[in-house]
Amino acid sequence: MGSSAQATSNEIENLETASAIQTETITGSHLFKIYGYSLIKGIGIGEAIKSDMFTVGGYNWIINFYPDGDTNDDKIFISIYLQLESEATDVKARITFTILQQNGAASNLSKTIPVCTLKSTSDTSYKLWGYSQFAKKTEFEASEHLKDDTFTVKCIVSVLKGTKLEVTNPYGIIVPPSNLNQNLANLLESGKGADVTFVVKGERFKAHRWMLAARSAVFNAEFFGCMKEKWADTITVDDIEATVFKSMLYFIYSDSLPDFEDCDDDGEKQNMRLMAQHLLVAADRYQLERLRLISEDLLCKNLGVSNAVNTLILAEQHNCSQLKAKCLKFMSSPEVFKAVVLTDDFHNLMKICPSILKDFY
């Protein structure tokens, strides 16, 4: 008995514990595209061009770009600052400014502020952080990043929300993160237990009534209401493309989209925009609000002269107020509006949605 008690005592004394501090951050970014650089160059030292306000970490921010430098000491440089707009004190953030290449990739004109503390105060030195001498104007103007008198500033903001203490208990069990979404996606792919089949443009997709009904009020009405689909084992869908319906089903099961939004060349980006447009229509039809907002977000991030009008028409037809507002704001730039007016799509806009033209004036 004595030796057993001694062994137990030694085991307790040799137990090893550990703790760690984890920094919690929220990261977001904003693209500030500036048209007509030659027109703003020369506005004067200390004069800034300001971006739209954007939100990261619960705080509002604005990018300030000084084409002629912030002070007399900076007159041969371009200056870039991030401004805290929210009423707050001691906001700690890491900030990166980058002049993007024309293909959207990062360039060598990039600088990072490791960590700074911003405050909402009348003293702008506390609410503005950045670089008074970000790059020489001659270097910037000679670079390929300035093309057709246009360039884009990307600002990445990582807001430090605090620290979290994690303690390792020697008697605890390591619990892996949830993989429910992947399990459900695998269930969709395997078709096990499926009780309904959709025929979409010649392709067949097996699914589970209970899953579709749980995610969509429209499917719930079809399968558990008084509609004819309640008793059907096979349902034909004629007005959705098969690839779109497949992506929609994947979202219903996994609450995410396939990785089609990660694309590089122009052809892939065009296909991504078309998929986002079709998914928005499908989400509206089946009342999948999160999918509709994801599709709106993808379209917002990929607005261009060639697709702005079609996106605006889509937003108007499906009551997407946020997407509509972003399209109108994008087209409000005089340079962009002049280019958009010359497209065939603008004439279609006047025919399909003539009432929307009042929003431009």
Domain count, the chain: 2
How much is the average pLDDT of 149-169? 83
pLDDT digits (tens, 9 = 90+) for 80-102: 999 888 887 788 889 999 999 88
Q: Return the pLDDT at 265.
A: 54
Write the CB contacts of 228 (distance below 8 Å, at least 6 apart in sequence).
none
207 with 239, same domain: the answer is yes
The region that residue 18 occupies, defined by phi over 0 for left and psi between -120 and 50 for alpha, beta otherwise, is beta
Q: How many CA atoms lie within 13 A of 179 on its CB side?
A: 6
> Is residue 128 situated within a structural domain?
yes
Please, where are the H alpha helices in 319-361?
321-331, 334-341, 344-352
Distance set, CA 169 to CA 11, 12, 16, 18, 19 (Å): 15, 13, 9, 7, 9
Q: Return the pLDDT at 168.
A: 65
- Give the residue with greater pLDDT, 168 vs 108: 108
- C-alpha dihedral (317, 320, 326, 330), degrees to nearest 10: -10
Residue 14: pLDDT band by 50, 70, 90 thresholds? low
> Is residue 174 situated within a structural domain?
no
Q: Return the pLDDT at 5.
A: 47
Distance, in Å, from the CA atom of 214 to the CA atom of 225, rounded to the nearest integer, reads 13
Q: Return the pLDDT at 4.
A: 46
157 with 188, same domain: the answer is no
214 with 332, same domain: the answer is yes
pTM of the model: 0.55
> Is residue 70 situated within a structural domain?
yes
> Is residue 3 situated within a structural domain?
no
200 with 157, same domain: the answer is no
- Is the confidence at residue 177, as pLDDT, over 50? yes
Distance, in Å, from the CA atom of 49 to the CA atom of 68, rounded to the nearest integer, reads 11
Single residue among 164, 196, 216 that ends a domain in this structure: 164
- C-alpha dihedral (265, 266, 272, 276), degrees to nearest 10: 150
Total number of residues shown for the chain: 361
158 with 269, same domain: the answer is no
How is 292-325 classified by DSSP, letter by letter?
HHHHHHHHHHT--TTTHHHHHHHHHHTT-HHHHH
**What percentage of the chain reaches a pLDDT higher than 70?**
87
- Is the confidence at residue 208, as pLDDT, over 90? yes
- Is the confidence at residue 250, as pLDDT, over 60? yes
Residues 318 and 280: beta-carbon distance below 8 Å: yes
192 with 338, same domain: the answer is yes
Q: How many CA atoms lie within 13 A of 271 on its CB side?
A: 12
185 with 160, same domain: the answer is no
Residue 112: pLDDT band by 50, 70, 90 thresholds? very high
Q: Return the pLDDT at 41.
A: 92
Single residue among 109, 134, 164 that ends a domain in this structure: 164
> Is residue 205 situated within a structural domain?
yes
pLDDT digits (tens, 9 = 90+) for 340-351: 888 878 877 777
Distance set, CA 157 to CA 84, 87, 114 (Å): 11, 17, 11
Q: Mean pLDDT score of the chain, rounded to an integer?
A: 85
pLDDT digits (tens, 9 = 90+) for 278-321: 999 999 999 999 999 999 999 988 888 888 889 998 998 899 98
How much is the average pLDDT of 238-251? 94
At 110, list the tokens.
């990039």
Of the candidates 236, 235, 232, 229, which has an alpha carbon nearest to the alpha carbon of residue 201? Answer: 236
Distance, in Å, from the CA atom of 307 to the CA atom of 344, rounded to the nearest integer, reads 11
Q: What does the radius of gyration of the chain's CA atoms come to, in whole angstroms? A: 27
Single residue among 118, 139, 164 that ends a domain in this structure: 164
How much is the average pLDDT of 5-19? 56
Of the candidates 204, 297, 298, 194, which has an alpha carbon nearest to the alpha carbon of residue 246? Answer: 204
How much is the average pLDDT of 14-19? 68
Q: Return the pLDDT at 3.
A: 47
Per the structure, the complete domain to which residue 131 belongs is given by 21-164
Lowest mean pLDDT among 34-48, 82-96, 154-168, 270-284: 154-168
CATH number at residue 340: 3.30.710.10
210 with 259, same domain: the answer is yes
Q: In what order do the strands lie in the sheet with 234-237?
A: 203-207, 196-200, 234-237
144 with 212, same domain: the answer is no
How much is the average pLDDT of 68-77? 94
Distance, in Å, from the CA atom of 304 to the CA atom of 323, rounded to the nearest integer, reads 13
144 with 188, same domain: the answer is no
Residues 90 and 119: beta-carbon distance below 8 Å: yes
> Is residue 276 situated within a structural domain?
yes
- Is the confidence at residue 248, as pLDDT, over 90? yes
Strand 128-136 to strand 110-118: parallel, antiparallel, or no bridges (unpaired)? unpaired
The values of phi and psi at residue 207, to 5°, are -150, 180
Instruction: Give residue 21's identity as a one-letter amino acid code.
Output: I
Residue 190: pLDDT band by 50, 70, 90 thresholds? very high
Distance, in Å, from the CA atom of 335 to the CA atom of 328, rounded to the nearest integer, reads 13
Q: 79: which strand partners? A: 66
CATH number at residue 108: 2.60.210.10
**What percentage of the chain reaches a pLDDT higher than 90?**
48
- Is the confidence at residue 358, as pLDDT, over 60? yes
Residue 122: pLDDT band by 50, 70, 90 thresholds? low
> Is residue 56 situated within a structural domain?
yes
227 with 348, same domain: the answer is yes
> Is residue 347 situated within a structural domain?
yes
210 with 288, same domain: the answer is yes
Residues 191 and 206: beta-carbon distance below 8 Å: yes
